[in-house]
Amino acid sequence: MPAPSPPPLTRIRPDVRAMRAYHVQPAAGMLKMDAMENPFRLPADLQTALGQRLGALALNRYPSDARLADLQAALARYAGLPEGHRIMLGNGSDELIALLALACARPGSGERPGVLAPLPGFVMYALSAQLQGLDFVGVPLTADFELDEPAMLAAIARHRPALTYIAYPNNPTATLWDEGAVQRIIDAVGAQGGIVVMDEAYQPFACRSWIGRLHAEPGRNAHVLLMRTLSKFGLAGVRLGYLIGPAALVNEIDKVRPPYNVNLLSCETALFALEHAPVFAAQAAELRTQRDLLIGALRQLPGIAKCWDSQANMVLVRVADAARTYEGMKTLKVLVRNVSTMHPLLSNCLRLTVGSADDNAQMLAALQASS
């Protein structure tokens, strides 16, 4: 008799089999305050107009390059694209992060380029590095979630990373780091031939953007890529991210992008939203107002040990027992994110989405009852 065949699971990489899949919490029947989503839907008249527009699309055809070019042009106007730069589209920022790792990986060469980022930070930086065979180096923030500039500079000099991520503002701490420190880190990466990715996913809620530096000092930032998403703009369900960078650099990364990675419905919805950008700008302004009110209220709650300032649509708080508080809020049908196991610096921390006034009131009541 032939020898038994090995189980097909053995064909899957051992490191993949050892991984845990990214977990999205079930949210049916819950107030969902765990994913930094915009709580506001399109006004009814815009829902009708968008539905008519999407219904007329030729869904039997692949997305048109010309229409995707229209979207790139609209994003260029919206973002203020610097001269000599271009835009690359992605299926959310997650795909762009994966493509950046893929473009920098060197399979078969015996060389493992590095990816460097402050920690705690966005989990996809490390995950994309692992999946593409790059080494990941995490540099802890200070106890108050500021950049440890000396440690960052030392790590850059030692590891010479191919990619360095600076989340601006950071997730999950909502921190917008010192501009001078960030530029010095960018300079250090540039001196050893690396690429810096400024992740501006939460740009609609921040008081500044790195786009101004790209305009003011293009030579000094010639190795900087600016990454954004329309998720926090108000289109989380559309899954559209975009990368801004010097044309020569983006042209090379674009070679690993799969064809038709942005679908026809997402493209047209994004164009429609950009045509009505003032509606979304007003929503972001309301969320910034609600964020400030929420932080003020959190700092009055006796169960909150610490509430950090925020430049995003989330607020990080420390409580006496994050697991107990999280479960108590969940029992009260309010879902937040327990980030306390992500990194030692986040001990007993919860991340709260900023929502509407009513959402925030319900979340505060559940938090107070559970702390």
Q: Is the peptide bond before 140 cis (omega within 30 degrees of 0)?
A: no
How distant is the alpha carbon of residue 222 from its chain centre? 22
* Contact criterion met (CB below 8 Å) for 214 and 226: yes
Reported as a single tens digit per residue, the pLDDT across 176-233 is 999 999 999 999 999 999 999 999 999 999 999 999 999 999 999 999 999 999 999 9
Global confidence as pTM: 0.94
Q: How far is CA 363 from CA 258, 299, 303, in A?
A: 41, 14, 14
HEC string for 216-233: HCCCCCCCEEEEEECHHH
3-state helix, strand, coil in the chain (%, to 5): 45, 15, 40
Residue 305 has a pLDDT of 97
Vertex 311: Cα angle to 216 and 37 (nearest 5):
115
**Phi and psi at residue 141, to the nearest 5°:** -75, 175
154-164 average pLDDT score = 97
Lowest-confidence region among 8-17, 79-88, 267-276, 343-352: 8-17
Average pLDDT over residues 98-114: 89
Q: Do residues 155 and 187 lie in contact, with contact meaning Cβ atoms separated by under 8 Å?
A: no
Those residues with Cβ within 8 angstroms of residue 329's Cβ, 6 or more apart along the chain or in another chain: 335, 336, 363, 366, 367, 370
pLDDT score of 1: 67
pLDDT at 23 over 80: no
Q: Are 307 and 298 in contact (CB under 8 A)?
A: yes
Within a 13 Å sphere around the CA of 314, how many CA atoms are in the beta-carbon half? 28
Q: What is the spatial distance between Cα 211 and Cα 230, in angstroms, rounded to a whole number?
A: 16
**Of residues 227, 250, 260, the one with CA closest to residue 68:** 260
Is pLDDT of 59 > 80? yes
Please report how many Cα atoms fall inside a 13 Å half-sphere around the Cα of residue 1, on the Cβ side.
3
Sequence-distant (≥ 6) Cβ neighbours of residue 191 within 8 angstroms: none
pLDDT digits 0-9 by tens, 230-274: 999 999 999 999 999 999 999 999 999 999 999 999 999 999 999
| pLDDT at residue 15 is higher than 90 | no
Percent of the chain topping pLDDT 90: 90
pLDDT value of residue 21: 77
| Predicted confidence (pLDDT) at residue 110 exceeds the cutoff of 80 | no
Start-end of H helices in 160-244:
179-191, 211-216
Half-sphere exposure of 52 (CA within 13 A, CB side): 5
